[in-house]
Amino acid sequence: MASAVVYKRSLNKYGEQVCGDNFQMTQREDSKIIVLSDGLGSGIKASILSILTTEIISTMLQKGVNISEVVKTVASTLPVCKVRGIAYSTFTIVQIYKNGTIKLVNYDNPESVIIKKGEIFRPSYTEENISGKKIKVSTFNLEAEDFIFIMSDGVVHAGLGNLMDFGWGIENIAAYLKRMHRRSRSVKYMVDSLIEVTNSYYGFKPGDDATLVGIKMTEKSGVIIFTGPPLDPKTDKYYVERFLKFDGKKVICGGTTGNIVSRISDKKVNINLDTPTHGGLPPYGEMEGVDLVTEGVLTLKRLNELLESCKNNMFEIDIDEEEANAAEKLFLILRACDEIKFLVGRKVNVFYHNPALPFDMSIRSNLIRDIAKNLEKLGKKVEIEYC
325-338 pLDDT, tens digit per residue, is 999 999 999 998 88
Identify the bridge partners of residue 10 per DSSP, sorted by sequence position: 211
Angstrom CA distances, 202 to 24, 165, 189, stand at 26, 13, 20
- pLDDT at residue 80, as a whole number: 65
Contact 330, 299 (CB under 8 A): yes
Comparing 18-22, 219-223, 259-263, the range with the smallest average pLDDT is 219-223
Taking domain 2-219, whether its CATH number is 3.60.40.10 is answered by yes
In which band, very low, low, confident or very high, does the pLDDT at 350 lie, cut at 50, 70 and 90? low
In which band, very low, low, confident or very high, does the pLDDT at 315 lie, cut at 50, 70 and 90? confident
The shares of helix, strand and coil residues in the chain, as percent rounded to the nearest 5, are 35, 30, 35
Output the pTM of the full model. Answer: 0.79
In which band, very low, low, confident or very high, does the pLDDT at 361 lie, cut at 50, 70 and 90? very low
Which residues neighbour 133 within 8 Å (Cβ) at sequence distance 6 or greater? 71, 75, 87, 107
Nearest residue to 387 via CA among 342, 357, 353: 342
Nearest residue to 156 via CA among 132, 130, 174: 174
| Per-residue pLDDT at 314 exceeds 70 | yes
**176 SS3 class:** helix
| Per-residue pLDDT at 371 exceeds 70 | yes
Residues of the chain with CATH 3.60.40.10: 2-219
